[in-house]
Amino acid sequence: MHDQIEEVLISQQEIQEKVKQLGSQLKDDYRDKNPLIICVLKGALIFVSDLIRAMDCPLSLDFMAVSSYGSSTKSSGVVQILKDLETGIEGRHVIIAEDIVDTGLTLNYLRNNLLSRDPASLAICSLLDKPSRRQVKIKPDYCGFVIPDKFVVGYGLDFDQQFRNLPYIGILKPEAYI
């Protein structure tokens, strides 16, 4: 598995430090708001697990599964909700926790869908941001790392359901997905 990684882009230690910083910032911003953290499955699971432990304030957690990739490396632009929330969000302070903002198509759809449910506020927290690929105007309110236009895996991010368990963010060798 590691031999299919061209380069470690963000080390395990760098990720841990950044997630602690994001958690601390979110804790300060939402201390008395009991936010609902929405983990976007499957990619954000590891990030969210570490993030909520770093927040140290009252919060709730729910999950959504959306898809626009399938087994491809490019978004199809057609978004499907595979698993919806179990929690109502009307009047709640909501934070969408995402692994990566790439084209923005999926996240824009998800944001608009959740805004239609009348939350008190809605913010986006993403571990990674790849603005060079953006197709819609959307930007995370909280961001860990801005990365170049490379296909990355690890720390929850996958290619065809593989590599999620890497403890770092790595650039996948092109021969692994072409």
| Residues assigned a catalytic role | 102
* 174 DSSP β-pair partners: none
**Which residues does 165 contact at the CB level (< 8 Å), separation at least 6?**
none
What does the DSSP assignment read for 83-147? E--SS--TT-EEEEEEEEESSSHHHHHHHHHHHTT--SEEEEEEEEE-GGG--SS---SEEEEE-
Q: Tell me the pairing of strands 5-10 and 152-153.
A: unpaired
What is the rounded CA–CA span in Å between residue 106 and residue 102? 9
What is the rounded CA–CA span in Å between residue 89 and residue 82? 18
